[in-house]
Structure 1
Amino acid sequence: MPKHIWGGYRTIAQHFHITTDTLVPFFLAIAIQTAANPEPLRDLRRDCLVPHPLDEHRVIVDWNKAKTSARLQKAQRRSFDRRRRYAAPNLIEMMLALTGPLLADAPPGQQDRVFLTRSIYAGPTRRSLRNRTEVIEHSVLRRAILRFTKRANQRIDEWNAAHPDSPRASIASFAPALFRGTVATEHYRASGGDILAAQSILNHASVATTETYIKSEETTRLQRQTIARLQDLMVAWVRGSERIDPVPGPSQPRAAVPFGHDCLAPVVPGRDGAERLCPQFGGCLACPGLVIPIDTEHLARILAAIDRFEQARNRLDPRRWNLLYAPSWRILTQDILPDFPTALHEAARSLVAGMPALPELE
């Protein structure tokens, strides 16, 4: 029977072995889940599935990355719960079964790959045909994705015609190279703007590299919203208004420190994970998290502290004063005091007279 009655070689071939059109949905789904670069993913090996050492329900997908040193043969790893029907390991196992019939015809150097296809090329006269089995080429993959998008949009158009009250958006044209950045952006958005979540998914050594993947108008807006939220929390803390903990759970302990501000984290985890008193507690002027409100009351406390330091300088041994108290005095007079407007000084001096005297420095 003539081939055109059945739809041509492309239609007939899909009943005998996997084709580029049937391979693309698997490639796209695995790319989304692994956030792998398209080129390393094309070269995914058939032994890429590794049992998880601790969880019997999870499977590790192992693949190489082009920029990795040759000594590190398995640089990228991510585990998945195989109980989910369309988890990456399950899709890869389907691919192994679908491409199994092609292994005998594949070149020796590619018989260990997952994404094998058989292409049919017509000769110059279109009378001679030759088959070629190999890892899907980038250009072939790109054209197959365009056909996939076209078919999907046709189904969407049919749905929209039948359901005008609940239309679906069409799929825009895309390239495999865009997947990694898109996956990173989705994880960044889902985490509420935590770039470390995107960095973990992309397996980057530096956050700066991850930032190049998530730059967009939407992520910039999310970053600004995150900064504004943190600024509101800081202002509320400094002003002493109703406190909102940025992280759900028990409130952090508060501890009074010099000059009237509060320590946000007087207790910190040690190297062994146990809680320890902050090593800078009591020397809070050198703490990078120091916050002192710009108002008359706090300026009065600072002026009183400066007076006490200078009184001690006049009566203590110079070497002792320079060793113990000079660093704090320099921070107060050179770094903190200049930030207070001159107009506040007179009122602050009036408050100093009525404040309890600070203890003598020894």
Structure 2
Amino acid sequence: MGKRKVFTKTDLSVPQIEHSLDTIGNVVILPEAIPPKNTMVTFGHNSTNTRGFDFARWYGVEVDAITYACQRQIERFLVGQDSTASITTVVSYCNSGLCRFLDYCVLQAMAFERTLTLNDVNRMLIDGYLGHLFGQGTATTNQKSCYAKTKSVLLALAQRGLFPLVTSGDEATFPRNPFPNSNRKSKGETALSKRERQGVAAALRQAIKPLWNDDTIITGDLLVFALLVIALHTGRNTTPLLEMGRNCLRPHPKDDTVFLVLWKRRGYNFSKVALRAESKGDRVLEAMPAVRINVERLIRRVMALTEPLDLEAPGSFKGRVWLYRNPSNNKVVTLQENTLNRGIGRLVVDHGLKDSDGKPLRINISRLRKTFANRIFELTDGDLAITASALGNTPRVADQNYLAPSESARRNWQFMGEILVEELLAATIGATYKENPLGRCADPVNGQFAPKREGATCMNFMNCLRCKHYVVTAEDLYKLFSFYFRVLAERSRMDKRRWAREYAHIPRLIDHYIIAEGLRRGTFKAAAVDDAREHARTQPHPFWSVDLIDSLEAFYE
């Protein structure tokens, strides 16, 4: 018996682009389809304030075919076709990408004095669009964002055969890397300092007090303050926190612990973080000891207060935690990013939160996440694996994007080379200098980085290179190079990015300041330098042997 033929069903509700092919295979949009009866695309509920986008102004201006194809593609995205992008992402395609691209296409049609079709979407048009974005004078990161959102729509059209897609070569439709090194031009968020973190914690502790009152009225601001406490303690991202469901607390194998489970839309996965359950002793969360509050108890309190509102919530909000009544129309709504930003602004103003420059403190979820990451890193004595696990990232991502250099590393990077050169090449080197494992020191008891305690000698050798009491002579080169190679050996013992932050400057300073300047002034002879370097490489000074000292961190203050 022959194999039965299976017919594929077509969903007629999925938006289609009405088109035909001409004699040479080019796509031609059917004239009767343009403009469509409804030029407005409706988004429905999402985390932005945008509920619709009207393509009407790009019809009748010589770019109808491109406009029509883009509108239909957006409609397809919204019904789950060709992409798994969220509604918020599709909104950004329109507001940040297509509006600029279609404006540029109108300018091109006017310049060419003809109608643009889908066949005009090629490398020349894309290069012109990139130049148009550049000419608007916005930041490179903003140009990159606009281009990426435009490309997502155009690429979906090309992959469906609506216009030819060239994937390689000089004529590739989309250039391979139109914004080289753009990551170096943007500054990510920074973690709050210890003083700032303590100020935010104290302000939040006061701000959420009304939640525990019996007659409390749930407002958007009150929910924002509760959400910020959770963000400060758990380091979760904005969207998973805003979309937190009423089943977010799950059992944990340990009796005194629960899981906070949040859905990560971009990763299509759940994020889990362990929380201390409420106990009689009101135990302090170990991640943020500045805030004496039990996060699990806080979440349960918010859910209890908002449970009656869940019965009235519309379908898209049902099951959410952050529900409250809109004071203008008394309808049940949920927290969104704009509400979150307004609440943060009120917290900063009401509690007078300032940064180190005396300006109003800038707070957002990204800064709280980085603060959480650095606090975990600090409490675990620099354990990158634990920190990455707490964030839900890989060690590489955690180290590259979340961890800030330590205070000692920042001080080392501020080393003043010229001052050091003058000191170590001064003509006053003599009997007053005491030997140490790195060279010689004028005052190992009361020196710049000495403990300055009776009977205590300075062992802070990691700071020798920037200490005004440190000097090195030709006889000390062996010790100096032994330390040099010991620092290089640390690369294989720790994460490479951490080594680059905290140690990489040391060999560079030795090479470019001490040795180079000593050779230039004749203080060191080239042969002596080479001999000391080779001796230290093959037989390092016993003090800087790996067998003797397990970690150089022992010499950090």
TM-score by length of 2: 0.32
- Kindly indicate whether structure 1 or structure 2 has the higher relative contact order, using CA contacts under 8 Å at least 6 residues apart: 1
Q: Which has the larger radius of gyration?
A: 1
